[in-house]
Structure 1
Amino acid sequence: MDTSKQIEKGLIVSCQALENEPLHSSFIMSRMARAAKESGAVGIRANSVVDIQAIQDTVDLPIIGIIKKIYEDSEVFITPTLKEVRAVCATGVEIVAMDGTTRERPNGEQLSDIVATIRKEYPNTLLMADTASLEDAKYAEALGFDFIGTTLYGYTNNTDGENIANDDFSHLRKLLKDINKPVIVEGKIDTPEKARKSLEIGGFSVVCGGAITRPQEIAQRFVDEIALIK
């Protein structure tokens, strides 16, 4: 089945747990993915080769694969270099996501070179650009990405503190007006209502993570609310 049709107008659940989190385990992430599928999710977003492989062994949903890696010479950390992109592609995931901002990449690599190389080596793999601004989105679209994601909106120096739902999803509306590629809505979608609205506006599909798969964040919201009692 066509991957784009599989994920269109549906929920993609981000099943990730970093090393400092209690649920950091490929086995646990595979079970998260299973729970997501049983709840009606149409896809999974996963971080690291081992997590991707564990999830592939558990569910048959399309996967957006990434590798998060920190390099000292760059702020880019989502599938930042050709090495990580190749590693994710080699797992056979349907979609590989990478930082699609205009920021300088590690080792002086150019995003245009990465895209050109992967198109030759893995012509059937779809590419998603995680962007933070309209400028990023236009840049990624010009490079030929298959999907444009709002993933980094609110997480970069020039968008710090922003939320995709601010001003009635004004950032998303701008992207949908100026970008021709499918826009996957991701980043701070923390309620079912925001997920629904983002698709009603015209988002191609929506990715939710912390609000579903990170119990620390979920519990913290309850604790913070209770703390307001005087």
Structure 2
Amino acid sequence: MTPPLADALDGRLIVSCQAPPGDPMRHTDTLVRMTLAAQAGGAAAVRVNDPEVVAAAVAAADLPVIGLWKDGDSGVLITPTVRHALALVDAGAAVVAADATARPRPDGSTFADLVGAVHAAGALVMADVSTFDEGREAAARGADFVGTTLSGYVPGSPVQSAPDLDLVAGLAAAIDVPVIAEGRIATPEQAARALRAGALSVVVGTAITAPTALTRAFASALTP
């Protein structure tokens, strides 16, 4: 079944407006300005971390917000519990992004439990997966979107420097749920290839919204 928002996201860009802990950009006002810049540049939606930032982005921008809450030091970090998910809905997220890998969740819940709670609260769910089997299982458990976000970052998924377009294509051919390409998409050409591989939409983060990481890459390349 095609979820609400799919038409608005079809063939378009989602910008991940996040910053890691300790980064100078990790400030709510700065991240909201990133969101507004993404909107001005033509993004169809943004992906934002933490309920406080989600609420501020929802208030400031006229874009759907995909909310997530990274919490913890290992294992399932992206919206790890039902409590985290419902806090994002309360903050105004139209879509809650959550880890849908096979790893155990810290509250003992299942991904299906999270999906049910978010749907009951009136929002949609984006499943962040690392493998084909996880994507297919997430679709069967009620995810509204399946993202390739965690490919290469979870043991058992392929480690590579480029986007996992094979996973995008495989999932797009196998499931009825829209697939969102995310992970290591560094150029407009790669984003376009992701759409051709079957993605509904494409998430880009570091290549657009991470000046610290981009500066570090240039500085390292110039170091003898």
State whether residues 164 and 171 of structure 1, in contact with CA within 8 Å, keep that contact through their aligned partners in structure 2: no
CA positional deviation for 1:155: 0.7
Selected match of 1:165 from 156, 163, 166: 163
Which amino acid is the alignment partner of residue 176 of structure 1? A
Work out the CA distance in 2 between the residues paired with 1:101 and 1:200. 25
Superposed CA offset, 1:109-166 (max 9, x none): 222222223323x1x3111100000110011011011000000001101126235535
Work out the CA distance in 1 between the residues paired with 2:6 and 2:150. 22
Q: Which residue of the partner structure matches residue 27 of structure 1? A: 29
SS of equivalent residue, structure 1 residue 70: coil
State whether residues 153 and 164 of structure 1, in contact with CA within 8 Å, keep that contact through their aligned partners in structure 2: no
The 10-residue stretch of structure 1 (41-50 or 51-60) with the greater mean CA deviation from structure 2: 51-60
The answer on 1:101 being equivalent to 2:101 is yes
Superposed CA offset, 1:153-186 (max 9, x none): 01101126235535xx222221122122100001
SS of equivalent residue, structure 2 residue 14: strand
The TM-score, its normalising length taken from structure 2, stands at 0.93
State whether residues 102 and 139 of structure 1, in contact with CA within 8 Å, keep that contact through their aligned partners in structure 2: no
SS of equivalent residue, structure 1 residue 75: coil
Which amino acid is the alignment partner of residue 203 of structure 1? A
Work out the CA distance in 1 between the residues paired with 2:93 and 2:134. 24
The answer on 1:49 being equivalent to 2:45 is no
State whether residues 32 and 213 of structure 1, in contact with CA within 8 Å, keep that contact through their aligned partners in structure 2: yes
The answer on 1:206 being equivalent to 2:202 is yes
Superposed CA offset, 1:179-205 (max 9, x none): 221000011111111111101222100
Work out the CA distance in 1 between the residues paired with 2:181 and 2:104. 24
The TM-score, its normalising length taken from structure 1, stands at 0.91
The answer on 1:176 being equivalent to 2:146 is no
Q: Which residue of the partner structure matches residue 64 of structure 1? A: 66
Q: Which residue of the partner structure matches residue 77 of structure 2? A: 77
Work out the CA distance in 2 between the residues paired with 1:162 and 1:170. 12
Q: Which residue of the partner structure matches residue 152 of structure 1? A: 150
Superposed CA offset, 1:68-102 (max 9, x none): 0016xx60010000110010011222111100111
State whether residues 154 and 164 of structure 1, in contact with CA within 8 Å, keep that contact through their aligned partners in structure 2: no
State whether residues 153 and 163 of structure 1, in contact with CA within 8 Å, keep that contact through their aligned partners in structure 2: no
State whether residues 148 and 184 of structure 1, in contact with CA within 8 Å, keep that contact through their aligned partners in structure 2: yes
State whether residues 13 and 204 of structure 2, in contact with CA within 8 Å, keep that contact through their aligned partners in structure 1: yes
Q: 1:163 to 1:140 in 2, by over 3 A?
A: farther
Work out the CA distance in 2 between the residues paired with 1:41 and 1:203. 16
SS of equivalent residue, structure 1 residue 136: helix
Which amino acid is the alignment partner of residue 178 of structure 2? P
- Where structure 1 has 5 or more consecutive residues not aligned to the other structure, the ranges are none
- Where structure 2 has 5 or more consecutive residues not aligned to the other structure, the ranges are none
Selected match of 1:134 from 132, 148, 168: 132
Which amino acid is the alignment partner of residue 128 of structure 2? D
Which amino acid is the alignment partner of residue 188 of structure 2? P
Which amino acid is the alignment partner of residue 18 of structure 2? Q
CA positional deviation for 1:41: 0.7
Superposed CA offset, 1:40-67 (max 9, x none): 1111000001111121222110110000
